[in-house]
A and B are shown apart, each in its own frame.
Chain A
Amino acid sequence: MSLILAAVAVWLLGAVGWALARRRRDLAAAIGAGAAVVGAALGACAAGSALSGREAQVLSAAWPVPFAGLGLRLDALAAAFLLPLCLIGALCAILAVPTRHHADGGGAGAGFAAFNALLASMATVVLAANLVLLLAAWEVMTFASYALVVTDHDSRAVREAGYQYLIFSQLAAGALLLLFLVLAAATGTWELAAVPVAHARTAVAGLFVLMVIGFGTKAAVVPFHVWLPAAHAAAPAHVSALMSGVMITMGFYGLARFLPLLGPPSPGVAFTLIGLGAAGALGAVLLALLQRDVKRVLAYSTVENAGLITLAMGAGLLGQWAGAPELAVLGWSAALFHIWSHSLAKSLLFGGVGAFAHEARSRDLEGWGGLLARWPVVGGLTVVGALAIAAVPGLSGFVGEWLIFRALFAGALVLHGVARAAMVVGIAVLAMTAAVTLAGQARLIGIGLLGTPRREPPAGAFRPPARATTAPLAALAGSCLLIAWFPAPLVAALAGALATLVPGGAPTLVVDAVRPLGSLALVLTGVVALVAVLRGALAGRGVPRATETWGCGYAGAPGRTQYSASSLAEPVRQAFAPLLRTRVERLGPVGYWPAEASWRSRTLDRTVTGVYRPAFGGVSALLQRLRDLQEPRVTTYLRYVVLALLVVLALLFLPIVVRP
């Protein structure tokens, strides 16, 4: 416990320490990043020991805030979320160091202040054993991340994205406040209960909705994900990496911690999560395939993975409800494992793609191309991240997805009736999601990094990358490989967390289940290496001739004639056209000698166009009416005051008058 307290203290010191070196940017960055790394190292030690520990470490102290207490608890579940936080937090802090040169004014130091505050608040969220403390930390997390999102606040788009993020976060925080009030009223204490309290059936439904809104917004569960793509596109790369890799997992931590408090799982809760997860994953991955902004591609891919995790949680709950221990254990461990593997791979991808976007001064995929040749090391590491997200065997993403599939197959075999049908539908949706994910990552890498440039990068770009860029990415890529090769030790390490989620479950079942996957990844790597060596020997006998790409006799076709990102996605877009409602603007070609022709498509998120825009528009129209009450005259307001007084008096005296 002292270790983690020290970690939080170091982070908090880092958050204020930059002020000492405000004038010296390098020193400020060194203090900020150093504090983040040292704190993370301490936190990782604490989390590592707590992960295996059976007993929760508890600390409670008085805190002179009404209802609050400084209650902290580090148990295996908290540790399972704390460890990736520390790992990725430290690496993202290092990634941030080279960016200090292009941050404005005191931005570098202030950025690290918010960064450290974000780390400290996320750790506190995971550790909090008191509802008021949890909510306070949650809000600090939101505001610190908001400050990071609007780092480049000169741009209007960035400010708008930040504002939108803030609004959604506060709506979610309202739901959380309500949730905590009801829970506190039911238990009579502000301490976070460890055991469920009996609630009425309707109350359970209400609490569940509050949880999904409150935690699901942070976790980017569809339809509460809308803030995420805009915020991730606006934020600097290392911030997107931290938010996508770690901050969204805070939402899942909340769900994992609070869903058991609802009492024995009900099928309604489980099916809702499965439905939200499956529909969200497929919808988001289709949108990811159609984005032009590279960071929005990754952001929607995060929403997709959030859907997969939600689906896995739902499957686990369904297993608990149906008394199918295999499904319960597989579902929950799939959720935990996928949280880990997605965190690592997505931070890697955001870090790599963000570095490319910074060098190319553009996030438009249609203008990219041939960037791997410019930056082979960063490019290669980014490809590893994309393969991990594409969930192909040999990398970490596959193990998580395999566990979800495995859980659904297990569910299909043991459940009956509607539940069995739901499992099979889930399998089909997951398969389609996986195929579209693959296409999306092929598009990101194939169009963005391979081929030839569609637009020349600015002069002076793509100097050899800083070691502070490549080293963290290499560490993340290495962990993606390690997890794929040795999944069983990780699952075994997560057994403690699993035991708190599925009491009485047998985690060894999952450890044994994933063991062959490790061998599979190793064998695959070996076989591919063998074939590669063989191929190299065959192809390398003579001097390989270098020439043009075959173009039917035309040599030196310009980069812009390559297949574009939009055209690559076109078959899928056309097949899902009724669902996506893409707006296509088409001009020409007309006549025998066409002069110009253009084709432009734009696919908007239908939760935005169909739900949020009308809803917020309606609210805003309603509020406009209240403006009529406003009048720039003192007498009007005096009238209001008198009226209000009269109402209060009436309310006070009415009971006395009415009483016989």
Chain B
Amino acid sequence: MTASAIGALALILVVAPLLPALAGRTVAFLTGRRGAPLLQPYRDLAKLLGKGAVYSRTTTGVFRLAPAVVLGAALVAAGLLPLDGRRGLAGFGGDMIAFAGLLALGRLLLALAGLDTGSSFEGMGASRELGFATFSEPALFLVLGALALATGESSLGGMLGAPLARAWARAPATLAMVGVSLGIVLLAEASRGPVDDPATHLELTMIHEVTILDHGGPDLGILLYGSALKFALFAALLAGTFLPRAAWPAPLAVAALLPALALVAILVGVIESAMARLRLVQVPHLLTGAAALAALGVVLRVR
């Protein structure tokens, strides 16, 4: 547990809500609009946390428990990630499996909370979220497998730490493919375009936004912050893959996180405004493509 790890964790917890805003602002800029101010998410969060709660009579304790689990799991996952490009707050051998498991826990509770409302809107969102995970999960694990083979490590701290810089010299093709694949997984996991449309919760596009349709007040605030944090975690994972910072001085490695996250958010915004949202049946194809790319990266390391 080092100062740099704590600093990086604090940084990402503070700036997480900025990322969706930055992506949205990029989309607005590219489509000739002005867009919401960057600090709007913080105002929204403050407003939501200050509101009273409204619950459907259909819902049970699962509905109330879900926001806590979603955010709690994301917070613990943040602790596992080597955000400072070194060891992370609490890394251990095999922590990448736990990282994926924690995000899966959040997804499960989100789906259960959606189904708890008894509404078909939420059911549809839950169904799609669970269905797409069937393809994004193998892609994520193939990415992790390729990273493990490229670096010879079996923990996030190793895969994204010092051995990564050497791996870039030895296996650049594998790591490049891993990066692209991870980027696609990010779009799906963070519910961004062209997989999901964060701006609407209309029937045709609804995935994440509609699953949380019945949540309001503090619950919605917690869920929105949780999903922003998930976006930030994947962005950090992506940034960490392309930018091995283990050899950098600690303050610089932590500070570099900020522009790296911003760059990922802007890229997501560019992709969202350059591409139409995919038809839902095509999303598995996209994710299978990501998995295939990572698998190719693995094949290059099989000998």
Interface status of A54 (Cβ within 8 A of chain B): no
Q: How far is the CA of A111 from the CA of B94 in the complex (A)?
A: 46
> Which residues on B sit within 8 Å (CB–CB) of A635?
none
Contact A551 B60 (CB under 8 A): no
- B101 contacts A398, C-beta separation under 8 Å: yes
Looking at the assembled complex, report how far the CB atom of A221 sits from the nearest CB atom of chain B, in whole angstroms: 23
B93 neighbours in A (Cβ, 8 Å): 406, 513, 516
Is B200 among interface residues, defined by CB-CB distance under 8 A? Answer: no
Q: Which of B131-151 contact A (CB under 8 A)?
A: 131-138, 140-142, 144-145, 148-149
Shortest beta-carbon distance, B127 to chain A, in Å?
A: 5
The answer on a CB contact under 8 Å between B60 and A410 is no
Q: List 18 A-B contacts (CB under 8 A).
A: A387-B108, A390-B104, A393-B98, A409-B145, A427-B141, A431-B141, A439-B111, A439-B130, A446-B112, A450-B60, A516-B90, A530-B72, A531-B67, A557-B119, A562-B118, A567-B127, A568-B127, A571-B131
* Tally of contact residues, A, Cβ under 8 A: 88
Are the C-beta atoms of A442 and B112 separated by less than 8 Å?
Answer: yes
Given the known inter-chain contacts A417-B302, A562-B123, please indicate yes or no for A446 contacting B101, CB distance below 8 A: no
Do A432 and B76 have beta carbons less than 8 Å apart?
no
Interface 1/0 per residue, A533-573 and B, CB below 8 Å:
00100111111111111110000010101110001111110
Q: Using CB atoms, name the residue of chain B closest to A410.
A: B154
Pick the contact of B118: A416, A432, A559 (CB < 8 A): A559
7 interchain residue pairs of minimum CB distance: A563-B123, A571-B131, A446-B115, A528-B72, A451-B118, A431-B141, A532-B68
Contact partners of A331 in chain B: CB under 8 A: none
Nearest opposing residue in chain B for A537, CB measure? B218
Q: When the two chains form their complex, are residues B128 and A523 in contact, meaning their CB atoms are under 8 A apart?
A: no
**Could you tell me if B53 and A544 are in contact, using CB atoms closer than 8 angstroms?**
yes
**B105 engages A563 (CB within 8 Å):** no
Secondary structure of the B side of the interface? helix
Chain A residues contacting B247 (CB-CB under 8 Å) are none
Give A237 to B65 CA distance when docked, in angstroms: 29
Query: Inside 8 A of B76's CB, which chain A residues have their CB?
Result: 393, 520, 523-524, 527
Q: Which of B49-87 contact A (CB under 8 A)?
A: 49, 52-62, 64-65, 67-69, 71-73, 75-76, 79
Give the residues in chain A near B67, CB-CB below 8 Å.
531, 535
Residues of A within 8 A of B (CB): 369-370, 372-373, 376, 380, 383, 387, 390-394, 398, 401-402, 405-406, 409-410, 412-413, 416-417, 420-421, 424, 427-432, 434-436, 438-439, 441-443, 445-447, 450-452, 513, 516-517, 519-520, 523-524, 527-532, 535, 538-551, 557, 559, 561-563, 567-572, 574-575
- Give the Cβ gap from A507 to chain B, nearest Cβ, in Å: 16
Asked if residues B68 and A438 are in contact (CB atoms below 8 Å), the reply is no
Taking CB atoms, residues of chain A closer than 8 Å to B52 are 539, 541-545
A438 in contact with B54 given A452-B118, A535-B67 (CB within 8 Å): no
Let me know if A439 and B145 touch, CB within 8 A.
no
A393 touches B105 (CB 8 A): yes
**B residues touching A (Cβ–Cβ < 8 Å)?**
49, 52-62, 64-65, 67-69, 71-73, 75-76, 79, 90, 92-95, 97-98, 100-102, 104-105, 107-108, 111-112, 114-124, 126-128, 130-138, 140-142, 144-145, 148-149, 152, 154, 213-214, 217-219, 222, 280-281, 284, 291, 295, 298-299, 302-303
Whose C-beta in chain A lies nearest to the C-beta of B115?
Answer: A446
Q: A549: which B residues are within 8 A, CB to CB?
A: 56, 58-59, 117-119, 214
Q: Is the CB of A370 within 8 A of B58?
A: yes
Given A528-B73, A535-B222, does the pair A547, B142 have CB atoms closer than 8 Å? no
CB distance A428 to B291 under 8 Å?
yes
How distant is the Cα of A216 from the Cα of B299 in the complex, in angstroms?
33
Q: Return the chain A residue nearest B62 by Cβ.
A: A450
CB-CB nearest in chain B for A523:
B76
Residue of A nearest to B132 (CB): A571
Is B54 a contact of A544 with CB atoms below 8 Å? Answer: yes
Q: A406 CB to closest chain B CB, in angstroms?
A: 4
